Amino acid sequence: MRQAINDPTMYPAEKLWSENNSVFAITSPTIIEATNKAITMICSFRSCIETFLNVNIYRPLSNGCNQYYTSYFIGMHFVLINIISILYAFKGMNEDIQIWLVRALTQIKIGSTIDENANTGGGASMYNNEKPSVATFSIIGVDPKTGEVGVAVQSKFLSVGSVVPWAKAGVGAVATQAYANTSYGPTVLNRLEKGFSPEEVVRSLVSEDDHHFFRQFAVIDCLGNSAAYTGEGCHGWAGHQTGINCSAQGNFLVSKETVETLVTTFEKTEGTLAERIIEALDRGQEVGGDSRGKQSAALFVVQNGAGYGGYNDRKYDLRVDDHPEPIKELKRLYALHHLTFYRPEPKRFLPLIGRTLHIVHLFLRNEEYLFDYATADEVKRALRTFLLEQDWNNRILEDGRLDPNVLRYMSAQVEAIENEKMKKRTV
């Protein structure tokens, strides 16, 4: 963290000697004390230099992204550090300590380094001891009619759902990303609940956070009012766009088209809030998404009394932590969740005859619940066993009629297996 670079305890002399004991066998308390003082001075002056560099290297452009000027300042950075080391670390020390200190300092890292892998249009890296950046794109949305509030997010980052999305029914939602400050989640929700507007919440957090240059976050209340912030230090193309009952934001993106597509898709798509924000996420990925690739995704939707058994507000809390196609996997989990927890009206259930019976038979055979040949009664008994093992026992009525969502699921599985067999035949 930036406030830690003036702290000599980051690189205590005792630790330095133990790490380099193959080169130095000096354990004198006098030398250790002198070195700690030298490191303190170097860290202090480095802080001043980095403040100067931060003022000069971040330049917001008219197209909404941040240009990162590296080559000139990388050279200046290390030249100035070396000058300071000579002028301050060696002042008042004898020759032996000077030689020893030069060799020791070349083997430690103080403070930050510049991210040489940042692409053109990137921002600054945080310090070496900081957690990885949650470079990603997300959308927060509200359905004022149903009271649903939610967040959908995708990133080239492990378990993005454990960091970015926060929401509370009847209050609002927040997505915190880039060099995410997870304390924003509960803080935002608390302030919204106290009556602050999203704009007021954003302004207050930016003014309170010394590292806001590296943050990106968006806030929406339960009425659909939203506000967002993108710090100048965010990597790649970074920006946000608010829409009707939504806000989309991203950093390290291929282009602004991802954010624009998130908003337009959300506004045009019919369906539940969850379906709309998942669809927006999928379309955003299609037009570019995270420039680094794909790894994880999450869906978090809340609604009063919509959690399991009606005991909380978590309607959907689905996470794909590590997957080559995280959005597709998130869609699969959403369909499975809907199949498990949402039952249609009994009048929509289908009798187990004809094509329905045939599909069920094929599916249960593929799952090894049945042999190739089975009577209708055997299929029905095997079906009840399968549904019970899946916790779907409420998806079949006493008269044997089946939930159409279960049939749709089975049909898709049967089709996938048949397609795979066809591919093998043609190879």
pLDDT given for residue 180 in this prediction: 93
> Does the reported pTM lie above 0.85?
no
Residue 342: predicted pLDDT: 84
Q: Tokens 């019919």 belong to which residue?
A: 270
Encode pLDDT of 117-161 as tens digits. 233 333 344 434 456 666 799 999 999 999 999 999 999 999 999
Given this model, what pLDDT does residue 87 score? 54
Write phi, then psi, for 402 (nearest 5 degrees): -110, 145
Residue 144 DSSP SS3: coil
CA dihedral 41, 46, 48, 54 (to 10 degrees): -170
CB 384 within 8 Å of CB 406 = no
Amino acid identity, position 77: H
376 vs 382: CA distance, rounded Å: 10
- Taking the C-alpha atoms of residue 379 and residue 357, their distance in angstroms, rounded to an integer, is 8
Q: Which residues contact 420 (CB under 8 A, 6 or more apart)?
A: none
pLDDT at residue 56, rounded to an integer:
40
Q: What is the pLDDT of residue 202?
A: 97
Domain boundaries, the chain: 2-105, 136-341, 346-426
**Closest C-alpha to 110, from 173, 37, 47, 68:** 47
Domain 136-341: which CATH class?
A: alpha beta
AA identity, residue 108: I
- DSSP letter (8 states) at residue 132: P
User: d(Cα 133, Cα 252) in Å, to the nearest integer?
Assistant: 10
Residues of the chain scoring pLDDT < 50:
1-28, 46-48, 50-75, 100, 103-129
> What's residue 343's pLDDT?
82
